[in-house]
Structures are given as structure tokens and as C-alpha cells.
Chains A and B, each alone.
Chain A
């Protein structure tokens, strides 16, 4: 709009009477287009046969995603856990800065039921254990206190995996949180480069 108004206001000026003709020109017309060289750059009309590619951005690059899968208490536990699992380190974004807990709320909310159950039960167990052992919420535990509840993450990997549900949840959360962080714009932009800045060949949907 601004651009069109600006162009219109110039119509009376000498040397640019060609503009209305430009508008009538059919795309197939091979006659030489009139010169617009004298126009300031911001007023130059776009080339007549150009199909522009506009820069756009994904929503989570500019605004926070709404969380609606986990309960308020589970979300709080997951946020605290996120900071413990993948803290910001050496100038690189951590899970919190990468919005990983909010992303996982969305991802797990879309996942098959067993995964949802694993997360919900695991987060509830952490909160329950924190209240039982320290009489406070998991989200208020110090790192040392929380560590006592995360013992499963100090167990060596085994083919069978952890025997208890909390262990299985923590193993899954550790992997998911790392991946959600390392694949985030924030992590990759903060110098934590992994695999050529996370670029890959994307195959579009076919008819």
C-alpha cells in the first residue's frame, strides 16, 4: 500500500510518465519496459515477471507454544527436570532456553497412549517422591536433592532397560530433552552446532 501510494504520488513528475503504460503491459509483451532507473530504490516497481520468495518464519521462532497436555503440576515438574537434564552450558542454550519442555508437552500430547502414560506417571512419581522425601515440590528441590530422585540416570545402560517405570521415564525424558534441545533454533544459533547446523534434505509431500 505504502509502496503503491508512493508510486502514485510521483506520477506528475517529469520522466516517469511511463508508469501507467507499465501497468497495461501484458506479461507476454516483448517491448522494452520503460526505464525506472531514476526512481529511488524503495519505489522501484518489482520486475514484471518476478515471482517473489518471501521470507517467513515458523511460529515457535517468534511466540511460545501453548501447553495443554500436561497438568500445571506436571508441567512445572517437567520444566525443572529440563533444566537439570540439559542445562545451558558453555554459552549454548539449554532445554529451558530452547523451549524444550513446552515442545515436549506438544509432542507427547500427540503421541500414542503408552508414551503419554509414561510421561504422566513419571512426572507424578517425581513429584510424589519429592513431597515424600523432602516435603516440597520437585520444582523447588535443589540440584543435590533432585539428584537423589534421579538415581536411575546413573545406572549403566542395559539391554533390558530400567526395571521400574520411573527409570524408563527418565531414560526417555533424557533422550527426548537432549534431542528437543539440540534440534532447536536456539541451540543451533548459540553455537552448539551439530551436523551442519541441522540442515537436511526435505522431501515434500507428493500428490
Chain B
């Protein structure tokens, strides 16, 4: 039995989930295909002791060479790297982190939710670097205003131009004494600080915040285990008319027809799908007349624990109850007014108080180490840097026809490396973090500026970039492909730049805006 749906949505994570939520509320019927299964939150999890796991919490060796976030407890949630291979030049490793399940990566995300500002949307106007987006903060603000309450984002308003305020559940929590000392140190160095802005609740995913409402409209059907291999185009009209997919379990092939197609399979999977959707009319992949599809891959670079310090007064369990705990965020503060450093753009930090520093930072072993670890319990204060990565044409993905996934679909070859600008920023961030900690009277235990490999921040962006000019971009400002009017790409691949803010709130806002545009276009018969 075949039903014709108005819109086919590929992917059920942040972007696909928001598309379904928005479109169905506007009366548009949608079929959603997702490559992965549906989690059953009652059946699929249980409480276990770490010593009851086969590998004592180390995880099966070699199972996830690129997913440093995977633990033995949650290993079954991450996309299997053998079934879903990809390649890179061994000199430039790329860590591609995927979740293939209904809900996508929103099942495990850290929930940090920041708006981008016109320092990103109109970055070129500010410093001449890169390209402007075809949208501004003003265009996106009404959508951020709606996405934040939906995702129950908590935070504190600050009135900063580089980190626009939003509609928050007010975070009025008191800071611990160690955090207060750190904030004072930052104030003296004129470094701004704020509370985290995070989506709250015991689950903050597309599966509980977006898809249930969409299903209630009766306008959405969700098919799990449906791996889309190709988007098809009507030869006569040039319009997208559906997608070919394979059932993950039976490997049976299907075709899903639709009047319009929304791709939200996450940045690199969406790009792979478009590149794999080749035909005589589209020899370089779909929506790629510009030749930039797959190019300008970027993310945010991370220096995890750029500085780890200890709060000396907390040694030996002597901390008063309100000394340790809590944390916060430092937004970009570099290059806002003038070019002030040997790099362009800037970086942010997460900081946190509490916990025991890793044993690797303590140059002891045996009884002495155990004593020192006991002494240092709940004394740690650490910062992680998240910095802007510049999009570059040469950082790209292409299809590797020689390596196919379990379902015979050609995989990606990924090329991205960090360059001098990122290295200079990482080093600066280490020095500033050290000064901030010393200013607070903390003992610095370790400092470094080694960035994690590209991809590991799980903020891959840019490979279907937006732009006003169809010759130099894939999408217009409404996430609509320049080449095919009824084909939209609504995830992070549409970003033109990313700042140092985590991207998901912006993905949600973009997807909501693009979906309203699509629904309106369909209503008027223009799409």
C-alpha cells in the first residue's frame, strides 16, 4: 500500500524532529525515515555494576576507535563503526561520532544551548574573514524565541552582543565559593562569565520534545530502520519525488514517494546522501551545480581540560560545604572590538568545580598516589576550551566508492585538519585559563593546548552551506537547495560559520524557520 505524503523527512534528530513538529502542526502530512531503531526506555536499559560488565568498564577494545564519548554502559547506542565505515588520510584523523536511532544524537547530547550572534551571521562585515550568512540574528530571533521554551533552556540574561539572550528558565542558583573566586579573578581580567545555558529535564531529545506532538496531529508516520540510499528526481520536472531506502534488518529495498523532501540526517550523512544521489542530470550529486557540496567542513575545536587546577583549601576533605561544586561559561571575549591577537575570531570555555583530578596528572604511584588521590577528592577545578574553526574550501568530504557500508552504500572520505589560526587560539586559551586559575588562588596541576582531533567535538558543520549566490553555495537562506525547489537540507551542514557556541539550538531554529517557509510555499502552490 502506498500513500503519497506531502513531505518526506530523512532523519529524526534535532533537525528532522523540528521539521516534523513544525510541518505537521501546519497540517502538512509527513513520512519520516530514520536509519536506526526506536529505543524502548523501559525495556532497553537496566542498572548494572561496572564489575558485571565483560570489560570492567573499559569497553570492548577497538570497538569504537573514534568515539571517545562511548562507555561500556552505553556502547550499544552508538553507530557501529564496522557497519558504517568511513576513511581519512592517516595523517589527519577525523573522529566521526554518530548515533543511528530515532532521536539521533539528541538522545545523548550535552544540551548546551547558545544562540549565535551577528559576530557569526555577519562575521565578514566585522573582520573581513570568511562569508556572511544570508540570514541575520534578527531573522532567526523569533525562532530561537520559540525553540528555547520548547527545549526548556535555563540560563541567565547578560545583554552581551556576542551571546544573545533568550527566553530562559531563570537560573538563579548560588555559586559555590570556589566559583565565586574564579568569577572575581575573571572580572579583574575583564573576562565575561555567565551561567550555563542548557536544555533541562530528565530527557531533552527530539523523542520526547518534538516527535510526540507531531504524532498527535495524526499527520506523521515514522519508519525506523529505514536507511535512505538515494533521493530521486523526476527526469521531466527536475523535482525531487521521493527516496530509495533499504530496511536495516531485512535489507529489503523500498521507494517512498513525496511532494517535497527534507534532509536532516546530520551534517555529514545528509551530504553523503546528496553526493550519492547522482544521475545523468546531476553527475556530481544532487544540488551541486555550484561544486561546493561537501566543501567548507568545519566544527569547533576542543581542548579538553586545558587547565586542571586544585582548590587548595579543599584538600584532605576540609572543604566547607559551599566551597566546591557548580560551574559556568565564558563566552568569546577575543577580537570583539579590534583585532587584538595573532589570530582571528575567538573561543569560549566551560568551567567546573569539583571532582578528583585524574591520576595521570599526579607524578606518584602506589601507596603515595592512593593517599594523594584521597587527599585531592573533590578539589578539582578545570576548564575546557571550545574555539571557532575557520571554514576552508579544502576541508571537504567526498564519496569513497571503494568502501561501502553494510548495506552497500558508498561511504565518505573526510579531510579536515586544524590550522595555524586554531593552534594560536588554543595556546592563547591555555595561557588565559592558567592566569584565571592563578588569580583565583588555585594550584595549577596541568595545562596543555592539544586539540582533540577534528570531529570529536561532534559539531560537524558547513558541507551544504547557505549563501545568497547559487554559484558559491548549496542552499538559500531558507535551507532550500538553489537547484531543486522542493528539496531542503535543514541540519548543521547549512552553517556558513559556527563561532564557539554549540550548534543545536541554531539547528532547531533554522529547521523551524525553513519548515514554515516550506509549508507556506506548498500552501501557495509555489513549492
Contact = CB atoms under 8 A, between A and B. Distances in A.
A87 B366 contact: yes
A183 B367 contact: no
Interface string B65-93: 10000010111110000000000000000
Given A154-B363, A157-B361, A89 B370 contact: yes
A112 interface: yes
Interface string A47-64: 000000000001001000
Contacts of B367: 87, 89
A111 interface: yes
Interface stretch (A13-21, A30-38, A131-139, A195-203): A195-203
A154 B364 contact: yes
A85 interface: yes
Contact of B366 (A86, A103, A155, A176): A86
Tell me whether chain A's interface is mostly helix, strand or loop, or mixed: mixed
Interface stretch (B22-30, B39-47, B490-498): B39-47
Contact of A86 (B43, B363, B370): B370
Contacts, number: 123
Interface of chain B, helix or strand or loop or mixed? loop
A171 B360 contact: yes
A68 to B, nearest CB: 16
Nearest to B58: A107
Nearest to A89: B370
A202 B365 contact: no
B41 to A, nearest CB: 10
A157 B365 contact: no
B106 to A, nearest CB: 16
A177 B213 CA distance: 49
A159 B452 CA distance: 12
A79 interface: no
A153 B76 contact: no
A84 B365 contact: yes
Contacts of B54: 58
A199 B74 CA distance: 13
Interface string A127-157: 0000000000000000100000010011111
Given A107-B58, A206-B37, A198 B49 contact: yes
B363 A157 contact: yes
A203 B60 contact: no
B448 A185 contact: no
A188 interface: yes
Contact of B76 (A143, A179, A199, A206): A206
A43 interface: no
B77 A203 contact: yes
Nearest to B225: A207
B319 interface: no
A188 B51 CA distance: 9
A83 to B, nearest CB: 9
B61 interface: yes
Interface string B211-243: 000000000000000000000000000000000
Interface string A169-207: 001001110111001110010000000011111111111
A135 B428 CA distance: 50
A203 B46 CA distance: 7
23 contacts: A58-B52, A61-B51, A86-B370, A103-B56, A107-B55, A107-B58, A110-B61, A112-B61, A153-B364, A154-B363, A175-B360, A180-B56, A183-B50, A198-B50, A198-B57, A199-B48, A200-B50, A202-B48, A203-B44, A203-B76, A204-B44, A204-B46, A204-B76
Interface of A: 58, 61, 84-87, 89-90, 103, 107, 110-112, 115, 143, 150, 153-159, 171, 174-176, 178-180, 183-185, 188, 197-207
Interface of B: 37, 39, 43-58, 60-62, 65, 71, 73-77, 101, 249, 359-367, 369-371, 445-446, 448-450
